[in-house]
Amino acid sequence: MEFLGFEAYITIDGVKVPHYEVKTDNFTKKATCWIASEEGKAFAINWRPTRPLRRDLGGPVTVDGTWILGMLRGRDEDASAATVTDVIASSSTTIRHLQFAPIRPTDDEQYLSNNTKDLGDIVLRI
């Protein structure tokens, strides 16, 4: 998806995943879409400028409402994408691949208090 001079996309096995129902808002400078996840598949989050940058930029990423990593782009870098494929797991020396997990709906009331507002969201802020 391209918006305001940037392209952001998800890849699975190095292939861009199609995105659907793209919505953009120039006032809030926000773009959203949805993608089909593939249970058990590792994925990567990618972004790149589509025109030369005037300054260095950061791209913090959250998945399911949890901060994952920040990606930095220097203004003098080439046009290749900044990519996140892993997340710090249980300690600062342990990482795991980003992977689509199964989502199993339940009507069990013990889970009503869990905060699932951001479940399924992949957010990149540039």
Could you tell me the two tokens for 23?
Answer: 């919505």
112 falls in which pLDDT band (50, 70, 90)?
low
The string of pLDDT tens digits covering residues 86-109 is 877 767 777 888 899 887 777 777
The string of pLDDT tens digits covering residues 49-90 is 888 877 787 778 888 888 887 776 777 766 677 788 887 776
Look at residue 115 in the predicted model and tell me its pLDDT: 64
Q: Which long-range contacts (CB under 8 A, 24 or more apart) does 31-40 make?
A: 31/1, 31/3, 31/4, 33/1, 35/10, 37/100, 37/120, 38/12, 38/100, 39/100, 39/101, 39/102, 40/99, 40/100, 40/102
Q: What predicted TM-score, i.e. pTM, was given to this entire model?
A: 0.81
